[in-house]
Amino acid sequence: MSTSPSPVSSAVGPVRVGQLWQDMAPDMVDRERMLRVLAQTDTHAECVVERDRQGTAGRKARPLAIRRFATSAFKLIEDVVDDADQALYARFLAAMTDVQGANPSPVAYAAAALRVHHELTAEAAKAQG
């Protein structure tokens, strides 16, 4: 039986500065250890422990091989928003915050996102033709 991490979906993109990853090692899952990528080279990522129930938050982790992030050893928790996507992100976020009520339903949020999607699709069609 192999103890090496197994590959996960190739849908996970490249490791980027600013991402938050959960350490999925058996001894780290219960600790909810989360690592934020601070810098990277072609082969390694420099991370800081952002959360750890055992009290190591704020400390730098040892450099981690980039290839390990494409396995089940880590789970992407929070991605970074590219500058090019920032305006689109802001529109979706504004639509989410416009949802009214003390306990808005997931359907209300979905309807707000769908409305923005339709607006963006119409704007793209108008720009092309």
Q: Give, for all 129 residues of the chain, the pLDDT tens digit.
A: 334 343 333 445 689 999 999 999 999 999 999 999 999 999 999 999 999 999 889 999 999 999 999 999 999 999 887 776 777 877 887 888 888 777 888 898 899 999 999 999 999 899 887
pLDDT of residue 75: 95
Query: Which residues have a Cβ under 8 Å from the Cβ of 75 and sit 6 or more positions away?
Result: 21, 22, 24
pTM across the whole model: 0.58
Phi, psi angles (nearest 5°) of residue 84? -65, -30
pLDDT of residue 45: 95
pLDDT of residue 13: 65
